[in-house]
Chains A and B, each alone.
Chain A
């Protein structure tokens, strides 16, 4: 153990925490403090998570019986459409970047705030505006296109509030782009002295990679959806063959955004897990540069794989072969990360706290989702299981098993830093295990359902599928309990008398753990100077959780 300090900066004096810096509504709704904006996002995405979860509950209840006794055909279409739209654009995409990223990116690089604090606040207001419009759609009749808005269903035949939904998603895209722009400029321009690119935490690398996707992919979705709205309203011939258009063009443009959007959800999760693994192992990450550049590689190659969503659409088989190869290639950087996390844990002095349990759950679910993704990247298997529950299970393993589990892991890991409070560790461990079990009971039967031929987006199905559907719905109930538990004990920790968190309850490295919990308004007292490599364990002065 070395006595040399990892970072050099003036000692933390008693400073007003960002939470104590004003209690009025104005101090929250007009704040430009990235930490408060992160909390605004946390409350907002939690609300939309509940909306999306409510739709999911309706879907799972309806699927308990083969006749679809709960919802009408139209009602079922609307339920899964709202579930997808809300969960993708109003929960999954903003969850980690806008909550954890907003809070941590400036602190991790030793900055006072993001490069454009007002733009950050504007981003939240744009998100809220688009969210309100989506809620209007929910109560005003719904939409029945699915979250994918495929033409000609969306442009000609759908009878829901298609244009309003498209406008909502279009507006939310600006929020995303502004966040990406803010992160890119902040990471380039506001790093503390000594915070070189080789010293960046992997959380920052993954947020840099995801910001590239935000900025480069989102405009394509915006234009594509506007074209759908224009075709629906004034009949321009872009996607309608009767007017000289091509419906497959929509799928090319949509998936050019929406496949990278999967990486938008996963890349920040990969960054979170790198932090959780190293903190739990108290070891430098194995192969720092490989993990860092794997994020960039996933971001870039992720743009070249979209055609695997179109293998049975009528796309040229030659194009499909190219996309199949590229889709398999993107598994390589993902696998590098998994191997490196595993090696990092090898022979480590591991602290099995809730964040690590979430991280381990993430790795297992991400591997299952990734390997089934490889199956789907192969033409012959994909033809067999396209538009079945196999695909539904696969992307839920990645987007829920991966991203949501990592989000919960990150929330638990940084909760003491964000709020200055410690939660009940035993309950947190139970919740982590319950979520893992509940998730697998919910979604693993869906692999079997899909492989047996149960199509997605149908609520009337042959009776032989009922047993697996009932198991899946039971798992969803367990999963709901697992997700509800943190809401209880995390809020409980905020009540008067809750245990106070020390600056570094995990004994973790990283600039964020050198400032007080919660941090002062400008994150640090004075300018931190970074003098050591990232994940430079063992720390000079580790502080265990029990010392707090």
Chain B
């Protein structure tokens, strides 16, 4: 598969996921709604990283740098969650 076709397919997948995001916003999914939105967003980010940012052909240090980004994102989410998940404990 040529590079251009691969990128076009990745773009088409992103558009499909965008449609899915929009559709999911109107579905009565209850408490699962944000988690489904997060999952779709993660899939989009993975596509961008893997194909458009060419992580599929990178090795070593570049992948480590990418991983660092995720670790920092995890810090942001985890420590923010220490607030949101424990607010209800305060009465």
Contact = CB atoms under 8 A, between A and B. Distances in A.
B83 to A, nearest CB: 4
B68 interface: yes
A304 interface: yes
**Interface range on chain B (Cβ under 8 Å from partner):** 10 to 19
Contact of B75 (A303, A310, A318, A323): A303
Contacts of A319: 79, 82-83, 86
Nearest to B87: A316
Contacts of A252: 76, 80, 83
A307 B76 contact: no
A318 B86 contact: yes
A256 interface: yes
Contacts of B35: none
B90 interface: yes
B79 A304 contact: yes
A253 B76 CA distance: 8
B79 A316 contact: no
B89 interface: yes
B79 A216 contact: no
A248 B61 contact: no
B90 A216 contact: no
Given A188-B61, A216-B68, A216-B72, A307 B79 contact: yes
A434 interface: no
B89 to A, nearest CB: 6
A316 B86 contact: yes
Contact of B79 (A217, A248, A249, A322): A322
A341 B79 CA distance: 33
A188 B83 CA distance: 38
Nearest to B83: A319
A256 B61 contact: no
Interface in A277-335: 303-304, 306-307, 310, 315-319, 322-323
Contacts of B89: 316, 318
Chain A: interface size category:
20 to 34
B60 to A, nearest CB: 11
A216 B61 CA distance: 16
A205 to B, nearest CB: 17
Residue of B61, B72, B86 with most chain A CB atoms under a 10 A cut-off: B72
Contacts of A216: 68-69, 72
Contacts of A307: 79, 82-83
Contacts of B84: 316
Interface-central residue, B68, B79, B82, B83, by most chain A CB under 10 Å: B83
B76 A256 contact: yes
A220 B76 contact: yes
Contacts of A256: 76, 80
Contact of A318 (B61, B68, B82): B82
A267 B72 CA distance: 19
Given A307-B83, A318-B90, 14 more contacts: A188-B61, A216-B69, A220-B76, A249-B80, A252-B83, A256-B80, A303-B75, A306-B79, A307-B82, A316-B87, A317-B90, A318-B86, A322-B82, A323-B79
3 nearest A-B residue pairs (beta carbon): A319-B83, A318-B86, A319-B82
Interface of B: 61, 68-69, 72, 75-76, 79-80, 82-84, 86-87, 89-90
9 contacts: A212-B68, A249-B80, A304-B75, A315-B83, A318-B82, A318-B90, A319-B82, A319-B83, A323-B82
